[in-house]
């Protein structure tokens, strides 16, 4: 009996070792079949896409600050035009940064502080009149940042002459100029802080982003944060914020004044630039990207479908015209069609792509896509 028990135990042990060895071999084999270097992809994103985007935004913020100083010194049509142009360039640069609202950007609530719209013009004018305001607070978000600068430089008059008069002949001219300069300084400081945190010579968040410890796909990993930030941005702030909400998709009521650059009249240009950045993120901008990762995992068809839908969405936006607010007022149907094209991509990114990559969406969804 004792010999029999010993024999059974030996056979069981051999069988268990064989099973474990078989499983380990299968896992190793699977890893070998997936010929993809995720660390190279993250290096590409960090060094070739994210850092340059923040550096360019910081450069445009510096240009905006210089142009505002010139306008303050000489309130001429030429300096007003230069300041308006500098603001537009910064708003275009923001489109490349807006999908990366994690890490340092999340810490300073960059999106909410920099780009909350539509602007509360009554609050802006009250702040100018009283001189009592603190930029950067929750109460001031829709009365500060880039959209508010758009109002101050384009919306305080019907013509260039009227706008200039508001900074020279109006009773509140000096208070208005102070508010403009304070907003420029607030924007520049926010961007400087965030960009410096990303740099290796600064807060070195780039080192954290590229660290081996954050190289997986779990919650809190670099890829997990990147994809969550990208999909959240696409769903809420591109599809809805730039197109759906102004077109009345959510409320059933058209809201042309809710377009991103309502006073500047170039909201569509911003939307197209932002969609272009989403496409660059997906493809890696010529380097290793999410599309390559999908293909390595055997989901090449999904990768191609996402690329096709992104192209179709860009084509739909290309059929519209600026000012987007006027397009909505005069012929909203193409805008609604553009929303539908943008909508097709949500499930592909949020459900299909994340499922293949093994990334969990962690933010709350309120509209059921």
Question: Tens of pLDDT along 317-366?
Answer: 999 999 999 999 999 999 999 999 999 999 999 999 999 999 999 998 65
Q: Could you tell me if residue 2 is inside a domain?
A: no
Residues 76, 196: one domain?
yes
Question: Tens of pLDDT along 240-279?
Answer: 999 999 999 999 999 999 999 999 999 999 999 999 999 9
Task: Write out the DSSP string of 193-227.
Answer: HHHHHHSTTTT-HHHHHT-GGG-SSSTTSHHHHHH
Residues 192, 61: one domain?
yes
Average pLDDT of the residues of the chain: 91
Q: Can you list the residues of the chain whose pLDDT is less than 70?
A: 1-33, 365-369
Number of compact structural domains in the chain? 2
Which pLDDT value is given to residue 305?
Answer: 98
Q: What is the spatial distance between Cα 271 and Cα 90, in angstroms, rounded to a whole number?
A: 14
Which pLDDT value is given to residue 163?
Answer: 98
Residues 266, 148: one domain?
no
Which pLDDT value is given to residue 34?
Answer: 74
Q: Could you tell me if residue 23 is inside a domain?
A: no
Range of the domain at 312: 216-357
297, burial (CB in 10 Å: exposed 0-12, middle 13-18, buried 19+) = middle
Which pLDDT value is given to residue 35?
Answer: 80
Which pLDDT value is given to residue 366?
Answer: 56
Residues 43, 114: one domain?
yes
Which pLDDT value is given to residue 24?
Answer: 30
- pTM of the entire structure? 0.90
């Amino acid at each position: 009996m004792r010999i029999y028990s010993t024999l059974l135990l030996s056979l069981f042990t051999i069988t268990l070792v064989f099973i474990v060895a078989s499983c380990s071999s299968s896992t190793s084999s699977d890893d070998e079949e997936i010929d993809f270097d995720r660390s190279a992809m993250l290096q590409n994103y960090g060094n070739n896409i994210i850092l340059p985007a923040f550096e360019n935004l910081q450069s445009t913020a510096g240009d905006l600050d210089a142009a505002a100083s010139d306008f303050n010194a000489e309130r001429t049509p030429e300096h007003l035009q230069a300041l308006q142009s500098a603001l537009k360039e910064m708003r275009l640069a923001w489109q490349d940064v807006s999908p990366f609202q994690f890490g340092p950007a999340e810490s300073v609530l960059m999106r909410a502080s920099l780009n909350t719209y539509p602007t509360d013009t009554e609050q802006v004018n009250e702040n100018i009149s009283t001189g009592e305001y603190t930029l950067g607070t929750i109460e001031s978000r829709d009365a500060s940042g880039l959209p508010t600068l758009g109002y101050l430089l384009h919306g305080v008059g019907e013509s260039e002459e009227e706008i200039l008069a508001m900074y020279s002949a109006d009773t509140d001219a000096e208070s208005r100029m102070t508010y403009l300069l304070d907003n420029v300084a607030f924007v520049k400081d926010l961007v400087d802080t965030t960009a410096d945190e990303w740099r290796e010579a600064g807060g070195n968040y780039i080192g954290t982003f590229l660290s081996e410890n954050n190289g997986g796909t779990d919650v809190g990993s670099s890829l997990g944060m990147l994809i969550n930030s990208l999909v959240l941005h696409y769903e809420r702030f591109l599809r809805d914020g730039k197109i759906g909400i102004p077109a009345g998709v959510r409320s059933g009521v058209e809201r042309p004044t809710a377009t991103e650059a309502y006073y500047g009249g170039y909201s569509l240009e911003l939307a197209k630039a932002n969609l272009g950045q989403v496409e660059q993120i997906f493809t890696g901008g010529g380097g290793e990207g999410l599309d390559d990762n999908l293909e390595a995992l055997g989901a090449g068809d999904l990768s191609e479908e996402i690329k096709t839908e992104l192209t179709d969405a860009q084509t739909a936006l290309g059929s519209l015209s600026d000012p987007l607010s006027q397009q909505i007022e005069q012929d909203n149907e193409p805008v609604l069609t553009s929303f539908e094209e943008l909508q097709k991509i949500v499930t592909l990114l949020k459900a299909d792509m994340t499922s293949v990559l093994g990334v969990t969406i962690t933010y709350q969804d309120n509209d059921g896509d």
